Amino acid sequence: MGEMEISLAEIAQRVANCQKCPLYKNTTKPVPGEGNPKAEVMFIGEAPGFNEDQQGRPFVGRAGKLLDELLSSIKVARSDVFIANVVKHRPPENREPLPTEIEACREYLDRQIEIIQPKIIVTLGRFSLEKFIPGVKISQVHGLARFVEINGRKIIILPMFHPAAALRGAGVMNMLRQDFLKIPQFLDNQEKVPLENSATKEENTKDNGSQLTLI
């Protein structure tokens, strides 16, 4: 089997055996991510927390409950989407992942995206946003969809606040709820979004690979 044919299960196995950065130490379980291998939407968060580390599953604590509720609000089942994080092992004391750790872990998430080929990636929080649209502020770009070329395919990136941040403040919660409501329009109207015009404009934009604001 060629490298490109590696499956999601194999990625999970590699994550389970990975020692490429120190994060695996003192963790309970790896959290490679889970969901529909043919998902149209991928949600990508930051890192596993306490509950995720205990269960080996992404977004299962309070932030996960909120994510479930938000998915219900747009009538999307959790089993329809794929949920992952930028790093696959829990950082000690839930500290932020270091750039070296994110870089060490990058291949796993990149492979998952290659396999799943989602139409939309919803970034949850600034570490996930930084991966796809570097150098922007989440407060300025949340809810604004852009095209980003990944492995030769244009994927819609829809930046959002992390659900954990929403749990800390009503203002962010409201913004996250509103931003979530934008997801179905891309799923339902995928053919109607002016992709052609967008692609043309995108080629004319030189900044940073040129993502284009769709809405």
Positions touching ligand SF4 (CB under 6 A) are 15, 18-21, 23-24, 87-89, 101, 104-105
Cβ at position 116, least distance to ligand SF4 in Å: 18
Cβ at position 15, least distance to ligand SF4 in Å: 4
Letter for the amino acid at 8? L
Nearer to ligand SF4, 88 or 146 (CB): 88
Cβ at position 67, least distance to ligand SF4 in Å: 21
Nearer to ligand SF4, 27 or 211 (CB): 27
Cβ at position 107, least distance to ligand SF4 in Å: 8
Cβ at position 95, least distance to ligand SF4 in Å: 13
Nearer to ligand SF4, 88 or 142 (CB): 88
Nearer to ligand SF4, 98 or 167 (CB): 98
Nearer to ligand SF4, 23 or 76 (CB): 23
